[in-house]
Structure 1
């Protein structure tokens, strides 16, 4: 990879922007505006480099524009810029993105971080030092025909499309694992419960298949709300009018080819510049999926409670000692982790909703928070689904002996006699069964003989 020797350069360099002069580390490929953001948001650093798919999408958009704009530049500049975009897509420039995801400015600092890094890397490829902006400028070259207000949300949508596919690739094996658990306990009965009270008998596999189908529905909902993400306001520039954008036909065609995604321009870029309704729908779908997994985890914590003083109907794999003081105790740590993921997704969805509502006039300035939470949710849910399957569901075992013993101790079978004997008569039989310490079936059969 071509580079310039920086060993002879001073440790810092001075760059100018519209506010004055800024001191930047000599080795950094970012420039003045990124440096300002590092100072402005120094306590909020979850760096952009943590979100590889987001950076990749920025690189892909910049590459699509560079291919169009290269005809306006000397060949050497076009070649260098296109190569730098390729390096960003491949992840080779990630260390030069220390900027915080959370920031003011609607994502301008992030976008300028991208523009500065591509410009300075392209300069390096021409054997020129960083900040030789009279040759390649972050705004005049890398940002030509673009605005933060169309590039940032478009990059976010591309990243989310890919993350949703990755998330589903982790949910599908979890669904399959629950199917396997259901098959292993298909022949067994257990006690069904409502409001934590004894209800009626049920087959154990029906309980597990209920969990499976709920996950399938949550997954399908996620896929459905992901479809509008293919529509990008790219080319709308500042407020959706397309000012200074140039001919976008080639850009979209190139972007589709680069990403391999079925992307298309938004029908109304004015609306798309501020309306984050599709992102809010995605946040809600993420919350639904997170809470669905959390509900299953809560059921398993209860059903696996004990092992001596609880329900003990399922055995969760032992993953860690459960206490620093109580010998032999094992906690359901994976299920508890999944619960917390669900809580976290729920809180992030609420933050996204507040940010979506605050999109005043022609722009939503709070897209960085929306991006932060949606990308974090996608990563966390993918990780959680994989761990839930590998460390809990794959090794989940049904305990038929405990389940049938609990069922037989209960009066859950009483409801089945109501059509033949009547509700009031069955209530009296239950009272007699309690007094005599016998099974209600025995008393009911005696009445019907």
Structure 2
């Protein structure tokens, strides 16, 4: 040990590059330190769940290596204890490298190897850095490679993160469903291409929102199955070099026990090591959900616009002042943030797609970027949905009279009379209404195209928003010139 400036004690460690001074109290070692110096990219550190997943992989490997008599019980126990401590949240400050790193995740793998080794050495009453007791590569990394450890830990991490997204989506689904029932009797104008179309019930719109969320739940739930296929045992390129044949057979079952996840070993480990399409599938499902929610957020901003000079059909719960200069202005901040979450997720998905495509031959070196973006997308989506549900959807109210007024003054309702007076005659009625501003109902009555009873029946809110028309009036064209 050497006393350097600021009274910090250092120990000297060496690797194939050379020697380097490592703080004596550090559980990481020389390879981690080099990576921390080389990769100052995002300013972030590795995700805590990814650290825990790495520890679980190392624990399962130690158990397996002991079972096949390649690791003695004393070292196995020390490694297991170190891993358990990490999973409990200890030593996370010792994972000092940036999540974006060259080397296909070797730096992350060596960070966990060194931290586990040095904590195990300490448990065995040795001094950190004395790798004759427990070695990061020979013991902690026994039978493994970065190239099976990192993708496996990434999959475990994603499987831990996705349930929160599904839970939040289920809450959002229930919120939309509740609003669809609350607003089922509210008639409003439907719009296509931002122009008046035909009437729809506000409850029907919210029911449609619940339907797309339900699809997203199914899509994200299903994609989890792809993640349960891991390449542990494949080592460097999927051929299993340096992995004992008994270890090869036992490591994934042991990892399933350790993680509580029903993992299976890939049938083709070379394929599973080369190709990262499963992460593209996950990212795609997350992106698809984000796109759907941003579209809904757009709808809510439009329907609540005004409130007096826009559509003004619904009220969003006021959450904060909307302007530093305009008193009383309240902006749709929650739908806005939901869309911003979507934009970020879409960008992350593009990067994930490019990274997955950019692999060459037996390995893809860009998993660090994939995991950094994918972990972020999953967490942002879960958090975005939570605030969308609690701070917006649950508090929406309908401006019933405003909705009714817009329907009654709309030209769009002429579509409902089309089967009863014919397309040409209905178009003439629409043109008159457009030019004069006179209500459709008045034009129909004045020109004796339909009786008041017929109009009331045809323009009934339910009749206008459900399949089918009143057969007794069908094609009862009036031969009256307008």
2:51 to 43, 51, 55: 55
User: In structure 2, what is the equivalent of residue 82 of structure 1?
Assistant: 80
Distance of 1:271 and 1:198 partners within structure 2: 53
2:93 equivalent to 1:91: no
Cα deviation digits, residues 46-84 of structure 1 (max 9, x gap): 201xx2221121111111111122343443322211100
User: In structure 2, what is the equivalent of residue 16 of structure 1?
Assistant: 14
Q: CA deviation at 1:11?
A: 2.3
Number of equivalences: 439
User: In structure 1, what is the equivalent of residue 439 of structure 2?
Assistant: 439
User: In structure 1, what is the equivalent of residue 273 of structure 2?
Assistant: 273
Q: In 1, are the aligned partners of 2:126 and 2:133 still within 8 Å (CA)?
A: no
User: In structure 2, what is the equivalent of residue 369 of structure 1?
Assistant: 369
Distance of 2:96 and 2:172 partners within structure 1: 35
User: In structure 1, what is the equivalent of residue 345 of structure 2?
Assistant: 345
- Alignment TM-score, normalising by the size of structure 2: 0.89
Distance of 2:325 and 2:444 partners within structure 1: 50
Distance of 2:56 and 2:450 partners within structure 1: 77
Pairs within 5 Å for 1:125-164: 125-164=123-162
Q: Which has the larger radius of gyration?
A: 2
User: In structure 2, what is the equivalent of residue 403 of structure 1?
Assistant: 403
Q: In 2, are the aligned partners of 1:417 and 1:444 still within 8 Å (CA)?
A: no
Q: 1:75 to 1:199 in 2, by over 3 A?
A: same
Distance of 1:172 and 1:448 partners within structure 2: 47
Cα deviation digits, residues 245-301 of structure 1 (max 9, x gap): 112232222111111111000010111111111111111111101111111111111
User: In structure 2, what is the equivalent of residue 215 of structure 1?
Assistant: 213
2:69 equivalent to 1:69: no
User: In structure 1, what is the equivalent of residue 106 of structure 2?
Assistant: 108
Pairs within 5 Å for 1:177-256: 177-246=175-244, 247=246, 248-256=248-256
User: Which deviates further from its counterpart, 433-442 or 386-395?
Assistant: 433-442
Pairs within 5 Å for 1:166-185: 166-185=164-183
Q: What is the DSSP-based 3-state SS (H/G/I as helix, E as strand, rest coil) of the residue aligned with 1:29?
A: coil
Q: What is the DSSP-based 3-state SS (H/G/I as helix, E as strand, rest coil) of the residue aligned with 1:192?
A: strand
Q: In 2, are the aligned partners of 1:236 and 1:273 still within 8 Å (CA)?
A: yes
Q: CA deviation at 1:342?
A: 0.6
Unaligned runs of 5+ in 1: 1-8
Q: 1:44 to 1:431 in 2, by over 3 A?
A: closer
Distance of 1:436 and 1:387 partners within structure 2: 46
RMSD of Structure 2 on Structure 1 (CA): 1.4
Distance of 1:417 and 1:291 partners within structure 2: 36
User: In structure 1, what is the equivalent of residue 381 of structure 2?
Assistant: 381
Distance of 2:360 and 2:278 partners within structure 1: 17
User: In structure 2, what is the equivalent of residue 257 of structure 1?
Assistant: 257
User: Which deviates further from its counterpart, 223-232 or 204-213?
Assistant: 223-232
Distance of 1:434 and 1:42 partners within structure 2: 64
Distance of 2:307 and 2:208 partners within structure 1: 24
Q: In 2, are the aligned partners of 1:45 and 1:98 still within 8 Å (CA)?
A: no
Q: In 1, are the aligned partners of 2:348 and 2:373 still within 8 Å (CA)?
A: yes
User: Which deviates further from its counterpart, 263-272 or 75-84?
Assistant: 75-84
Distance of 2:224 and 2:72 partners within structure 1: 40
- Alignment TM-score, normalising by the size of structure 1: 0.95
